[in-house]
With several copies, the nearest count.
Chain A
Amino acid sequence: MYSAILFRTIFGKTMRKDPQARILHKQNWGDYFILALESPRITSEAHPGQFLMVRVGETSFPLLRRPFSIHAVQDNALEIFFQTTGLGTRQLSLKQEGDRLDILGPLGRGFNLDIEGSTPKAALVGGGRGIAPLYFLSESLRLQGVSATIYYGGRTVEDLPLRKKFLAAGYPLHCSTEDGSYGFKGLITDHLIQDLKQNPADRIYACGPDGMLKRLAEISQEYSIPAELSLEAIMGCGFGACWGCVHRLKKDQEIGWQKICEDGPVFPAEMIIWEKE
């Protein structure tokens, strides 16, 4: 019944190309960047957990678009939040206010926001750049009367550039760093377990590295809290045409390689089959 909720088509199949989305503003902390893109139609149709495919250059190198979660939405604009990790994100980080980007979106299925109960509580867990979709999610949950607590983990304090943004927006925020430079010393999943005792949740939403998501799937079972996890994969197209982005998933009782760009990137934890390390 849980997956039934997910699979009724919560989000339409609308998806648009906007070849001229203007960069309204840019923010930067070390390796991390925010770009706000003016794109009224994509913005109006966006749902938390969905993503964009962004063209980062004009030539065929880099060749493919890059996937980025929709980080925030305001008026006519949506934001992406990204970390520079390779050629494409480096090129993207050189773009300036006023430049235009060719984007495709909104893509995929996002988070299921239906939580039953009168005062539902959600735990939003973001690892590193995986925090990206959780801001849009927290804002949307708030509109639905769900109170969201943010769990934000990174290797070091530099990996937590959005902590002020969440605090400013008034969300309870728990941070962790592996090196102890800020907040809880250790993994964000351990921090979550500790906190769940005083601060139980009706739903876990998460995005981050595979190791973190796998651990959250276990926690979801142990604590009987449904979890919605956002996966990453190399994407050729982002809209179901290449079959490049598969993950092993259980769907309609069958286990197989399923496209995460169309059926996901967000899945209920119990659908996801984790490979051996």
Chain B
Amino acid sequence: MTHSDLSIDLGFCRLKNPVIAASGTFGYGTEFSRFFDLNRLGGFVVKGLYSTPRPGNPPPRLVETASGLINAIGLQGIGVKRFCQEILPQLQDLDTAVIINVCGSHEEEYAAVAEHLDGFEGIAAYELNVSCPNVSTGGSCPALDPEATHRIVSLVKKSCRRPLITKLSPNTGKIIEVAKSAEEAGSDAISLVNTFLAMAIDAKTRRPKLANVLGGLSGPAIKPIALRMVYQVAQEIRIPVIGMGGITTSEDVLEYMIAGASAVEVGTANFVDPEAIPLIIDELDVYCQTHNIERLASLTGTLAPL
């Protein structure tokens, strides 16, 4: 069987195929090597890293909703230093794009995490998680505001040597402005969306279903909104867009690409089926062959008028 060309050129980085595992849903990567060869992936983004370890939120941390999942993990993690010591060495021989999700409670922390990572090899890019809730501003995050986003992206871009993907929050009416200001500030790509701020209540106990009260909604429920945002943003910027939100099948990937995404990330679907991404990649290959598509990348931004 001949294979089609599924590869994607993001400019700063070439991917075998457009399917990247999304941050926070793929652990540090190693969790999934039991299920399939990680080299099959277009790439994967590790769980968000701060400069120091974080304890995370108390449970319950998850609640299911209609076709969705709300999480309030609270970015529990080992911090960038232990990550570079203990985990990164296990990832350095992989032949797939390893992307690090860079977090911070304030602007300097983002830069510090990136600078620390700069000292190590085997990393394809940083995904700047400007949607981290900022404790000092009462839980709001830089990605809600074009200026704050511009400041962080400029600062990190200046202080590190790797390509930057800025990951946007959907909890704003200004997603286009925020994307543009990340582009202006030197971001090499945009990824969207992070989760939608959401909540669930137990009517019997009258208590929130998450200990943290608020959490982030992901999964198929959000796909129509996320797809719209990708479509709008892709029309307004020139750097590549990585789309995500509720992807579970190859058809979903195609929809995001047609809307303007150069690549996609798959999140919640990894929980439901640890083999979701390799299955999707296989389906994309079959799709290209049955539809005589030589280069999958040619689909990006081809939405036709009705």
Binding site for B on A (CB under 8 A): 13-15, 17, 55, 59-65, 102, 104, 233-237, 239-247, 256-257, 275
Within the assembled complex, what's the spacing in Å between the Cα atoms of A151 and B74? Answer: 39
Instruction: Specify which of A14, A17, A60, A65 is in contact with B220 (CB 8 Å cutoff).
Output: A60
Q: What does the 1/0 interface line of B64-88 toward A look like (CB < 8 Å)?
A: 1011110101001000000000000
- 22 A–B contacts, CB within 8 A, in A order: A14-B34, A17-B274, A60-B219, A60-B248, A62-B64, A63-B69, A64-B271, A65-B271, A102-B273, A104-B274, A233-B60, A236-B71, A237-B274, A241-B270, A241-B271, A242-B73, A245-B59, A246-B61, A246-B76, A257-B55, A257-B56, A257-B58
- Which B-chain residue is minimally distant from A104 (CB atoms)? B274
From known contacts A55-B272, A63-B220, A256-B55, infer whether A234 and B67 are also in contact, taking CB-CB under 8 Å.
no
Interchain CB contact under 8 A, A241 and B31: yes
CB–CB B73/A241 < 8 A: no
With A61-B67, A63-B67 already in contact, the answer to whether A15 and B271 are too (CB < 8 A) is no
Q: Complex formed: what's the CA distance from A14 to B26 in Å? A: 18
Interchain CB contact under 8 A, B34 and A15: yes
Q: Which residue of B lies closest to A55 (CB)?
A: B272
* B299 on the A face (CB < 8 A): no
Chain A residues closer than 8 Å to B63, beta-carbon distance: 234
A233 touches B272 (CB 8 A): no
Q: Does B12 touch A at the CB level, under 8 Å?
A: no
The reply to whether the CB of B275 lies closer than 8 angstroms to some CB of chain A is yes
Q: Give A244 to B62 CA distance when docked, in angstroms.
A: 6
- Residues of chain B contacted by A15 (CB below 8 angstroms): 34-35
Least CB separation from B219: chain A residue: A63
Provide the residues of chain A in CB contact with B31, threshold 8 Å.
Answer: 239-241
Q: Are A241 and B62 in contact (CB under 8 A)?
A: no
Contacts of B27 in A (CB 8 A): 240-241
How many angstroms from the CA of A64 to the CA of B272 in the assembled complex?
A: 5
B56 close to A242 (CB less than 8 A)? no
Given A15-B34, A64-B64, A257-B58: A244 and B73 interface contact (C-beta under 8 Å)? yes
Q: How many residues of B contact A (CB 8 A)?
A: 36
Pick from A15, A62, A239, A247 the residue with the most CB of B within 10 Å: A239
> For chain B residues 1-31, which have a beta carbon within 8 Å of chain A?
24-27, 31
Query: With a CB–CB cut-off of 8 A, which chain A residues contact B271?
Result: 64-65, 236-237, 241-242
Q: Which 6 residue pairs are nearest across A and B when measured between Cβ atoms? A: A244-B62, A237-B271, A60-B220, A60-B67, A241-B27, A61-B67
Contact A236 B62 (CB under 8 A): yes
Q: Are A17 and B67 in contact (CB under 8 A)?
A: no
Where the two chains meet, the residues of B that have a C-beta atom closer than 8 Å to any C-beta of A are 24-27, 31-32, 34-35, 47, 55-56, 58-64, 66-69, 71, 73, 76, 219-221, 248, 268, 270-275
The distance in angstroms between the C-alpha atoms of A242 and B34, with both chains bound, is 16
- A241 touching B219, Cβ below 8 Å: no
For the complex with contacts A241-B271, A243-B47, A246-B61, 14 further pairs of A-B residues with Cβ separation under 8 Å are: A17-B35, A60-B66, A62-B64, A63-B220, A64-B272, A234-B59, A234-B63, A236-B69, A236-B71, A241-B26, A243-B61, A244-B73, A256-B55, A257-B58
In the bound complex, do residue A244 and residue B71 qualify as a contact, i.e. CB atoms below 8 Å apart?
Answer: yes
The CA-CA distance from A234 to B62 in the complex, in Å, is: 7
Known: A13-B34, A243-B76, A256-B55. A59 touches B66 (CB 8 A): yes
- Check if B66 sits within 8 Å of A61, measured CB to CB: yes
B residues in contact with A243, CB < 8 Å = 47, 56, 61, 73, 76
Taking the nearest CB of chain B, how far is it from the CB of A244, in angstroms? 4
- Given contacts A55-B272, A61-B67, A246-B56, whether A241 and B32 have CB atoms under 8 Å apart is yes
The answer to whether A64 touches B58, judged by C-beta atoms less than 8 angstroms apart, is no
Distance (whole angstroms) from the CB of B225 to the closest CB of chain A? 15
**A239 CA to B249 CA in the complex, in Å?**
21
| A59-B66, A241-B27, A241-B31 known; A17+B55 contact, CB < 8 A | no
Of the candidates A63, A244, A245, A247, the one whose C-beta lies within 8 Å of that of B272 is A63
Asked if A17 and B59 make an inter-chain contact with CB atoms under 8 angstroms apart, the answer reads no
B27, chain A: closest CB distance, angstroms: 4
Contact A242 to B64, CB < 8 A, known contacts A13-B34, A63-B220: no
Known: A63-B67, A244-B62. A239 touches B274 (CB 8 A): yes
B3 CB to nearest chain A CB (Å) = 24
Pairwise interchain contact B272-A65, C-beta atoms closer than 8 A: yes
**Which residues of A sit under 8 angstroms from B71, Cβ to Cβ?**
236, 242, 244
Q: Which of A17, A102, A245, A257 is most buried by chain B, counting CB atoms within 10 A of its CB?
A: A257
Output the nearest chain A residue to B61 by Cβ-Cβ distance: A244
Q: Which chain A residues lie closer than 8 Å to B55 at the CB level?
A: 256-257
Establish whether residues B62 and A242, one from each chain, have CB atoms under 8 Å apart when the complex forms: yes
- Give the chain B neighbours of A62 by CB distance below 8 A: 64
